[in-house]
């Protein structure tokens, strides 16, 4: 079987895989151009149990077929609630789930002929013909040693196909559908992966305002992490999401000890040339294995407290003091950092030195004492799981990604719910809605965590109505 190559190209296979809620692989069991066009050969290729795809390659270049959760090895009529039919063409892929499971599949063979059970197609072949029908919308039959297929509109599957009769299949394939090991059957975090959700998140971000009762009007976020985690790239990715195109800015690069050396503060605009949103992202020198090789603990605190001027160039051997030009001795609340985002690389998590864990834990404790919310941004999640690399919607189904997120939480000392996975724009030349959804979800988590913290720090002053005051007076008198 290893020498038999499927006619399904990579693009069409990827489209087919997206019909399934968890990652799957297809294992070729039968190919008519290799095994021959006989009903006995096709049916004998089914395993006794499992899920299967019957794929028809048409002369037009389009692909149609059906999925079934039953083996057709034995029997003639199959009730199958999992069944669906599909079509894939150059521009689109559509799936039609079965609406009436009891009439999902009918198999007719010369050895096991059955009466026409309401799946009439108009001019169906004689009852002794070898055929497989999915409702009445997809009818596959053997005709003079070749597989031909007919289509039509159907209520069993809800198809809207125009009637087409006896179209020759250039090839017919049967695949076993196998779950990829290491994936959850149901995602452990629910995400709606649609372009509508992307636009909704984008508009929610653009229109977001902090309540007027708070003493700050903007949210200033500091990105902290070791070399190569993608802090600067995350900022560019957020900008790309908002501009709806890939943004190429000079603040991204690679270097052994990190590319960023200065305190850079970026206001995030709602669109190219538009008004600023409520969010500003601060990029600084990367954390090192210790204070001598990267951003020191004291310098990180100086940035968080708002003492460090924009554009200051960090020097590991020269700590920030009040002697620094532009040093802010009494920074306003708007100049201080309102949220710290620890940025970690999912691919490098297990190779980080123990000294980095000590630094992260120390920062976590100190920042918590300052009353500043913290989150963890886990980058490069697509590099630790091939299925996620192929399709980002599996990010919360992958046990590997879940395990990496748990390790990131333990490294910093925060709960798992504080860990947010993303894929930065690194190789792409255009934005896509799935990557944008994860990026925008991080932004909204940041804004909500800051809002929640400020709400606790600056609660609304309770007021009593006249009725409440009268009740108080009565209680006092009664005492």
- Considering Cα of 103, then 109, then 114, then 115, what sign does the dihedral take? positive
Please check whether residue 19 lies inside any domain of the structure: yes
461-471 as b/e: b if 16+ CB within 10 A: eeeeeeeeeee
Instruction: Note whether 304 and 161 are same-domain residues.
Output: no
Report the Cα 192 to chain-centroid distance in Å.
Answer: 9
Instruction: Note whether 297 and 444 are same-domain residues.
Output: yes
Q: At 351, which CATH number?
A: 3.40.50.300
Print the domain residue range for 145. Answer: 10-112+128-179
Residue with tokens 């985002």, as numbered in its chain: 341
Domain count, the chain: 2
What is the reported pLDDT for 181? 77
Please check whether residue 404 lies inside any domain of the structure: yes
Instruction: Note whether 312 and 436 are same-domain residues.
Output: yes
Instruction: Note whether 266 and 173 are same-domain residues.
Output: no
Please check whether residue 4 lies inside any domain of the structure: no
* Cβ–Cβ < 8 Å for 187, 304: no
Please check whether residue 119 lies inside any domain of the structure: no
- Look at the chain and count its residues: 479
What is the reported pLDDT for 73? 87
Please check whether residue 475 lies inside any domain of the structure: no
Instruction: Note whether 154 and 248 are same-domain residues.
Output: no
Residue 306 and residue 76: Cα distance in Å, rounded? Answer: 75
Please check whether residue 472 lies inside any domain of the structure: no
Instruction: Note whether 395 and 370 are same-domain residues.
Output: yes
- Considering Cα of 196, then 200, then 203, then 205, what sign does the dihedral take? negative
Residue 222 and residue 242: Cα distance in Å, rounded? Answer: 19
Q: pLDDT tens track of the chain, all 479 residues?
A: 456 899 998 888 888 988 988 888 899 999 999 999 999 999 999 998 899 999 999 988 899 999 999 999 888 999 999 999 999 988 789 999 999 999 999 999 875 554 443 333 333 333 447 899 999 999 999 877 889 999 999 999 999 999 999 999 999 999 999 888 788 878 999 999 999 999 999 999 999 999 999 999 999 999 999 999 999 999 999 999 999 999 987 565 555 555 678 999 999 999 999 999 999 999 999 998 766 678 999 999 999 999 999 999 998 788 999 999 999 999 999 999 999 999 999 999 989 999 999 999 999 999 999 999 999 999 999 999 988 988 999 999 999 999 999 999 999 999 999 999 999 999 899 999 999 999 999 999 999 999 999 999 988 765 444 444 344 344 444 43
Please check whether residue 464 lies inside any domain of the structure: no
Please check whether residue 478 lies inside any domain of the structure: no
Total Cβ atoms within 10 A of residue 250: 6
Report the Cα 401 to chain-centroid distance in Å.
Answer: 11
Residue 357 and residue 282: Cα distance in Å, rounded? Answer: 22
Instruction: Note whether 260 and 170 are same-domain residues.
Output: no
SS3 74: coil
Supply 203's token pair.
């508009």
What is the reported pLDDT for 112? 54
* Cβ–Cβ < 8 Å for 194, 311: no
What is the reported pLDDT for 465? 45
Instruction: Note whether 75 and 220 are same-domain residues.
Output: no
Instruction: Tell me the helix, strand and coil percentages in the chain, rounded to 5.
Output: 30, 25, 45
Cα 265 to Cα 2, 114, 251, 273, 398, distances in angstroms? 55, 74, 11, 17, 34
Instruction: Note whether 162 and 260 are same-domain residues.
Output: no
């Amino acid at each position: 079987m290893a020498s038999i190559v499927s006619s399904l190209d990579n693009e069409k296979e990827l489209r087919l895989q997206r019909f399934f809620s968890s990652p799957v692989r297809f294992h070729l069991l039968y190919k008519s151009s290799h095994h021959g066009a006989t009903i006995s050969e096709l049916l004998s290729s089914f395993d006794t149990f499992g899920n299967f795809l019957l794929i028809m390659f048409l002369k037009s270049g389009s692909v149609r077929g059906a999925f079934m959760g039953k083996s057709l090895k034995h029997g003639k009529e199959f009730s199958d609630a999992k069944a669906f039919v599909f079509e894939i063409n150059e521009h689109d892929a559509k799936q039609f789930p079965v609406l009436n499971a009891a009439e999902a599949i009918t198999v007719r063979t010369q050895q096991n002929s059955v009466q026409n059970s309401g799946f009439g197609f108009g001019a169906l072949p004689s009852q002794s013909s070898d055929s497989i029908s999915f409702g009445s919308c997809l009818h596959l039959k053997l005709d003079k040693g070749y597989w031909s297929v007919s289509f039509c509109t159907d209520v069993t599957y809800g198809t809207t196909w125009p009637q087409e009769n006896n179209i020759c299949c250039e090839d017919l394939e049967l695949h076993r559908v196998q779950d990829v090991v290491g994936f959850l059957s149901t995602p452990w975090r629910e995400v709606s992966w649609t372009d509508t959700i992307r636009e909704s998140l984008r508009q929610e971000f653009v229109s977001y305002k902090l309540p007027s009762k708070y003493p700050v009007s903007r949210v200033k976020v500091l990105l902290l992490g070791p070399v190569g985690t993608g802090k600067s790239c995350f900022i560019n990715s957020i900008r790309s999401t908002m501009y709806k195109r890939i943004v190429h800015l000079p603040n991204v690069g690679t270097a052994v000890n990190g590319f960023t050396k200065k305190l850079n503060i970026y206001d995030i605009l709602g669109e190219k040339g538009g008004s600023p949103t409520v969010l500003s992202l601060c990029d600084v020198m990367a954390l090192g294995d210790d204070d001598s090789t990267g951003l020191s603990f004291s310098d990180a605190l100086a940035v968080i407290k708002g003492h460090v001027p924009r554009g200051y160039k960090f020097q590991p051997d020269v700590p920030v003091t009040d002697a620094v030009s532009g040093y802010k001795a009494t920074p306003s609340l708007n100049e201080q950092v309102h949220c710290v985002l620890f940025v970690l690389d999912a691919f490098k998590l297990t190779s980080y030195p123990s000294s980095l864990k000590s630094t992260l834990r120390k920062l976590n404790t100190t920042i918590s004492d300052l009353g500043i919310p913290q989150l963890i941004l886990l980058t490069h999640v697509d590099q630790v799981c091939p299925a996620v690399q192929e399709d980002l919607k599996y990010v919360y189904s992958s046990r590997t990604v879940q395990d990496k997120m748990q390790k990131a939480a333990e490294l910093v000392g925060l709960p798992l719910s504080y860990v947010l996975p993303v894929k930065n724009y690194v190789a792409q030349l255009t934005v896509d809605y799935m990557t944008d959804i994860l990026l925008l979800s991080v932004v909204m988590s940041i804004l909500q965590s800051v809002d929640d913290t400020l709400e606790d720090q600056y609660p609304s002053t309770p007021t009593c109505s006249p009725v409440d005051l009268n009740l108080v007076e009565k209680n006092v008198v009664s005492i």
